Amino acid sequence: MSGDYIAVDWGSSHLRAWLYLDGQCADSLQLPYGISRLVDQTVREVFAQYIQPWRGKEVLPVLMAGMVGSDAGWHTVPYLACPVSLQTLSAQLFEVAPQIWIVPGLNTPHNVMRGEETQLLGAMQLAPDTCYVLPGTHSKWVQVAEGALSGFTTAMTGELYHLLMQHSLIGRGLTSQHDDDRAFEAGLQRGLESPALVNRLFEARARRVLGELDPGSVGDWLSGLLIGAEVEAMRSELSVSQVTLVGSESLCRRYWLACEQAGITVNEIAGDTAFQQGIRSILDARR
C-alpha cells in the first residue's frame, strides 16, 4: 500500500477523520457532525467541506466506517452475516464515489453493528483473543473463531444509563454529579451479585432518599450497577474467562475492574489504535 489515504470514523454523534501520507498521520479532525446531528447539511456536503480538500489533485482513497453506511448516512450499505473474515470484509467494500468506500456492518440473526467491525479487525491483529468487549452506548461482546468474527451480543448499558439519569425518577432533581470511586465500586458489587436488574434499579433512588448515597454520587453508583450486571450476565451467557477490551481509557478502566471482580482475565487496546489498524488491514487486503 502506498501509505496515502484517508480514514473516517463517522458515527451517530461525531465525525472523526485522519489523513495519512507515506504511512504517517499528517492531519486529523474531530467534528460534532455525527449522522444523527446533521440538520442543515447533508452527509455529502459535510464531506465536501471538510474531507474532500485533503484528497488533493491525486484524489486519495477514502475508507469510511460507522453510521455513514446506514439508511441515515451517505448510502445504505448491506450488512454482512457472521462469520466474517478480514478477506470477506475487504472484498465487500461499498463504493459510493470513485475511490470512496464504506465498510459494511455485520449482523447475526438478532444483532447488528456498524463501525465496531473495523476496530475488531485491528484488535484481532494487535491483540489476538477469542472474545472482545467494546464498551459504549451499545456495548458489544464479540466472539472470534478460526480468524473470523463468529458472533456478537449487544448490551444497551450506556443508553440505559443515559435514559435513567435523564428521563426517569432516578435522575430527577439530582445535584451535579461528581466522580466517586467508592460509589461506583459499591454499585458494581451490587450488579455483579444481582445481574437481573429489574428489582435493583430503584435502589439508586431509594439509597439517595434514605441518605445512604450522596446525591452527587448517584451516577457513579448506577454506572457500577449497570456495568456489573452486564459483565456478570455476559460472563455467564458466553462462558468467557478472558477478554480484550477495545475502547476509551476511562470506560475501559471501569470494565476492567468489573471483569477482574467477576474472575475474568483482561487485556486492553485503545479503540483508536484498533480502528487505524483495521483500516490499514482492509486497504492492504485489497491490494
The 3-state secondary structure of 226-241, one letter per residue: HHHHHHHHHHHHHCCC
20 pLDDT higher than 50:
yes
Mean predicted confidence (pLDDT) in 242-270? 97
Once rounded to an integer, what is the mean pLDDT over residues 110-131?
Answer: 95
Judge whether residue 1 has pLDDT over 80. no
What mean pLDDT comes out for the span 232-258? Answer: 97
For the chain, give the percent of residues with pLDDT over 70. Answer: 99
Tallying the residues shown for the chain, one arrives at 287
DSSP designation for 217: G
Query: In angstroms, what is the C-alpha Rg of the chain?
Result: 20
Mean pLDDT to the nearest integer, 245-261: 97
Q: How many whole angstroms separate alpha carbon 100 and alpha carbon 86?
A: 19
Q: Respond yes or no on whether the N-terminal peptide bond of residue 104 is cis (omega within 30° of 0).
A: no
